[in-house]
Amino acid sequence: MAANPARGRTGYDTEVEKLGRRRALELALVIGCGVGNVVFEDLLHAKTAFVIVAATVWLGYVLWRQRSDRAALHDWGLRRDNLAAAGKAAIAVTVPLGACAVAYGFAAGHFPPPRGFWLIVLLYPAWGIAQQFLLNAMLAKNLDAILPGWAVVLASAALFAASHAPDLPVVALTVPAGALWVLMFRRWPNLWALGIAHGILGTLVFYGVLGRDPLALLLGRIPG
Q: Render each residue's pLDDT in the chain as its tens digit; 224 residues.
A: 455 554 455 666 688 888 899 999 999 999 999 999 999 988 888 888 999 999 999 999 999 999 999 899 999 999 999 999 999 999 999 999 999 999 999 999 999 999 899 999 999 999 999 999 999 999 999 999 999 999 999 999 999 999 999 999 999 999 999 999 999 999 999 999 999 999 999 999 999 999 999 888 777 655 44
Confidence (pLDDT) at 223: 45
Confidence (pLDDT) at 142: 97
What CA–CA distance (Å, rounded) separates 29 from 138?
A: 9
43-to-40, 54, 90, 202, 211 alpha-carbon distances in Å: 6, 17, 35, 24, 24
CB contact burial 105-132 (16+ within 10 A = b; e otherwise): beeeebbebeeebeebbeebbebbbbbb
Confidence (pLDDT) at 9: 58
User: How does DSSP classify residue 6?
Assistant: G
What CA–CA distance (Å, rounded) separates 213 from 41?
A: 17
Could you tell me the pTM of the whole model?
A: 0.90
